[in-house]
Amino acid sequence: MIAHYKLHGSKPGWITLFIVCFFILPIALVQAQTIENLKADLEKLSKKHGFSSDTIYLNKANDLGFMLAESNPDIAFLFLDKQIEMCQKANYKKGESEALKIYGNALQNKGNFAASIEYYKKSLAIAEEMPDDRLIPGILNNIGLVYFNLGNYAEALGNFFEAIKGAEQTGNLNVEAAALNNIAMIYFEQGKLEEAKSKYQEMLVIYQKMGNQGRMILAYNNLGDVELKQNKPLEALEHLKVGHASALALQSPEFIEMTARTLADIYVALDSNEKAENLYRQSIAIAKEKGYGVPYSHSLVGLAELYYGKGNYQEALLYAKEGLDQANKMKQAMQQRNTHELISKINERQGDFEEALANYKQFKQYNDSINNAQGQRLAATLEAEYEFSKKTLEFEKASLRQWWLVFSAFLGLVTFVIILFIVYRNRNKLNKAYLVLKEKNVEIESKNDKLENALDQLRSTQLQLIQSEKMASLGELTAGIAHEIQNPLNFVNNFSEVSVELMEELKGERLKVNGKRSETVEEEIIGDVIQNLEKINHHGKRADAIVKGMLEHSRTNSGEKVPTDINALADEYLRLSFYGMRAKDKSFKADFVTEFDPNLPKVNVVPQDLSRVLINIINNAFQAITTLHPSQSTRPGMEGGENIPTVKVKTSVVKSPSGDFRVEISIRDNGPGIPDSIKTKIFQPFFTTKPSGQGTGLGLSLSYDIIKSFGGEIEVVSIEGEGSEFKITIPISKP
């Protein structure tokens, strides 16, 4: 059952289905008017006003085009081609922009993302030339959704934040709610499930107030998706029952297909395979008839996974390949990744190990391309190579005789050593790690052994990872890492032992005769085991985050220094941090000001690295100003201004004591300040004042190293109760 859950949970249906029902006009209009009503209205208007120049007619035609794009994209293409031409002849720019956007929607519903983004960009270009900017936020949000489906999360997030800003300025609740949904999608992909659930609940409240039944269905569906990923299928089922009933009442094909598909995923998790199969087939029929590309692929793969679970590998392979063909047509990376993983498992069951390995390699390539965020690149590369090496070893052992097992394991370990040599360029230390692994007979498949192996790797490479000015001794860092990892490791071991004891109790209860068995006791034991497994998962992820944080801290920089506009970079990441805080916490209230030197020269830096420094310090400043120091009854004003939480970013040219000129970036807040007792520690690795589990203490340490690599300096000036100021100075000439 877990394998089914992971396969479907890793490619949530709500992502693409949100595109299907994304706003062009309020869905309340779709509910109030059928296609036949709109056609009748257009017939009356055409007789009264004509076709070519009446804006009322052209607006009504766009409404019809939207409904056709949602219900039958192929018919919509023909209609919209004529509609765009009529708007152009009438020189009706607003109508032309709307028609182009609707065309992009129809292409998204077909899964043609590359073509859809071109139509959205044409629509955006027209909207930006108009004095009324109310169309722009919606188009930006649609563009962000296309980038999301193509796996380009950086571009997607940038468009989402711009859409939020525009929606707030124009008072567009539909766009604001849609942006909440899209931010929740990012949270979902990052594994921040509680944050994603919270955003969906906020979205549901907005649509309940608006009385928008269609969007309420979407919210219920998305909440169910998150709860399914949280392994809470019963809670998910309650939300989906409400959503599916509403979709049937509306007789909306896209909503019926969407909720049927998610219900099928839930019934798979509940082992109700017959119900799941019927719902998958219902989804496939609607998606095929209406031309919904992504849902069609999703349900085909879901049905294939169902047959795989029942042991019907031939049927499973047929549906999986059909789903993969559809995903390849759309170039949808997430769907391609998950389908290759399923086909690999089917090949392995059928004994076709060569094909299994080939499909597993394709899975790893797509998986790496989706998860190549800059902050996790080194850890993701090492993990991908390690997993691929281990999978190769498993396939080789399954296809060779018993006496080849030891030799295959030896080759797997040698391959692992070669990978580490390429990454770290340290043959002697890796040979030593290999000998330690061989002497202790480490089992690669064991989770605890993997954690110990990661700790050995960190210990053997610390001298290369940490610069001399950051650490006083190697032993101090090693002890800190060991202490951080030991706590979650102890939790994993303890809860595993308790779970074994509970399962023994459950076996004893099941051996009793029917009259003496207690279903209540069995349910309590199962509930306790589930809770223990959740805690094991939580602490395992905590240990994984610590290891990844250390690898990120050790990542060597391969970027190239280029002349960079510091004012533009500082302004961009100040605003990104501000809107990011607001997106995460609706109660967040603060302000920011800038004072940029207009004549500031460009400096040679790696923009990506400097942006990491700015976002770290600015985020810390915004977090600081949300809390008053115990000694403060009111907050001090920022240079005589109002007593409100404020962050100020200033740039200027200063002369250093050595006589050379430097660019100075000042980041100042009116928060509680930094106590004198910890000022000297804030740049040390793993030092943090945040609660346990909310930070690794590497942000300022990494920032310090980056500024040093530019030949610059970073210092902090702080007075308790008045605020803090971080000053970054960078040489104007190349150091």
pLDDT in tens, 641-665: 557 889 999 999 998 888 889 999 9
Torsion angle, alpha carbons of 474, 478, 481, 485, to 10: 170
Q: How far apart are CA 506 and CA 572, in angstroms?
A: 58
**Quick check: 293 and 267 in contact, CB under 8 A?**
no
Q: Is 588 helix (H, G, I), strand (E, B) or coil?
A: coil
Which of 505, 522, 502, 504 shows the shortest CA–CA distance to 514? Answer: 522
Q: What is the mean pLDDT of residues 707-717?
A: 90
Sheet of 713-719: strand order equals 591-595, 646-655, 661-669, 723-731, 713-719
Decide if pLDDT at 401 tops 60: no
According to CATH, the topology of domain 562-731 is Heat Shock Protein 90 (3.30.565)
* Tokens read off for 567: 């004012």
Q: For residue 530, what are the CA distances in angstroms to 234, 524, 535, 593?
A: 14, 10, 9, 49
pLDDT in tens, 73-105: 888 898 899 889 888 888 889 889 999 999 998
Q: What is the mean pLDDT of residues 589-602?
A: 92
* Tokens read off for 288: 């095929």
Domain with CATH 3.30.565.10 in the chain: 562-731
Given 3-state DSSP classes, what are the helix, strand and coil percentages for the chain, each rounded to the nearest 5? 70, 5, 20
**Quick check: 141 and 127 in contact, CB under 8 A?**
no
Categorise residue 50: left if φ over 0, alpha if ψ from -120 to 50, beta otherwise: left
Residue 232 or residue 151, greater confidence: 232
Q: Which residue has the tokens 């004591």?
A: 657
Indicate the range of 135-139, 277-281, 328-332, 610-614 predicted with least confidence: 328-332
Indicate the range of 136-150, 263-277, 478-492 predicted with least confidence: 478-492
Q: Which residue has the tokens 């803090």?
A: 724
Indicate the range of 14-28, 332-346, 663-677 predicted with least confidence: 14-28
Q: What is the mean pLDDT of residues 331-358?
A: 87
Q: Which of 24-38, 358-372, 452-466, 485-499 has the highest mean pLDDT?
A: 358-372
Decide if pLDDT at 414 tops 80: no
**Quick check: 99 and 66 in contact, CB under 8 A?**
no
Question: Which pLDDT score is estimated for 592?
Answer: 92
Which of 682, 719, 721, 720 shows the shortest CA–CA distance to 702? Answer: 682
* Tokens read off for 550: 């250390």
Question: Which pLDDT score is estimated for 287?
Answer: 84
**Quick check: 28 and 212 in contact, CB under 8 A?**
yes
Decide if pLDDT at 716 tops 80: yes
Decide if pLDDT at 371 tops 60: yes
DSSP 556: P
Question: Which pLDDT score is estimated for 100?
Answer: 93
Q: How far apart are CA 15 and CA 261, in angstroms?
A: 13
Residue 557 or residue 649, greater confidence: 649
3-state helix/strand/coil string of 229-250: HCCCHHHHHHHHHHHHHHHHHH
Instruction: Say whether pTM exceeds 0.75.
Output: no
CB environment 137-172: b (16+ within 10 A), e (fewer) = bbbbbbbbbbbbbbbebebbbbbbbbbbbbbeebeb
Q: How far apart are CA 606 and CA 609, in angstroms?
A: 5
CB environment 500-512: b (16+ within 10 A), e (fewer) = eebeeebeeeeee
pLDDT band at residue 28 under the 50/70/90 scheme: very low
* Tokens read off for 728: 């970054």
**Quick check: 226 and 181 in contact, CB under 8 A?**
no
Q: What is the mean pLDDT of residues 279-301?
A: 86
Q: Which residue has the tokens 């004198």?
A: 676
**Quick check: 144 and 18 in contact, CB under 8 A?**
no
pLDDT in tens, 37-65: 666 666 666 655 555 457 888 888 888 88
DSSP 636: P
Residue 694 or residue 262, greater confidence: 262
- What value does the CA radius of gyration of the chain take, rounded to a whole number of Å? 29
Q: H helices of 585-693, where?
A: 607-625
Indicate the range of 9-13, 509-513, 696-700 predicted with least confidence: 9-13
Question: Please, which residues bridge with residue 651 across strands?
Answer: 665
Characterize the bridge pairing of strands 591-595 and 646-655: parallel
pLDDT band at residue 476 under the 50/70/90 scheme: very low
pLDDT in tens, 101-146: 999 988 988 888 889 999 999 999 999 898 888 888 889 988 988 8
DSSP 676: G
Decide if pLDDT at 13 tops 50: no
Question: Which pLDDT score is estimated for 391?
Answer: 43
Decide if pLDDT at 539 tops 90: no
Question: Which pLDDT score is estimated for 417?
Answer: 63
pLDDT band at residue 560 under the 50/70/90 scheme: confident
Torsion angle, alpha carbons of 540, 546, 547, 550, to 10: 180
Q: What is the mean pLDDT of residues 198-221?
A: 87
**Quick check: 111 and 149 in contact, CB under 8 A?**
no
What value does the mean pLDDT of the chain take?
Answer: 76
Decide if pLDDT at 447 tops 90: no
Q: Which residue has the tokens 């989770």?
A: 447
Residue 559 or residue 58, greater confidence: 58
Q: H helices of 331-467, where?
A: 333-349, 353-370, 377-399, 405-424, 427-440, 447-465
Question: Which pLDDT score is estimated for 428?
Answer: 67
Characterize the bridge pairing of strands 603-605 and 562-564: antiparallel
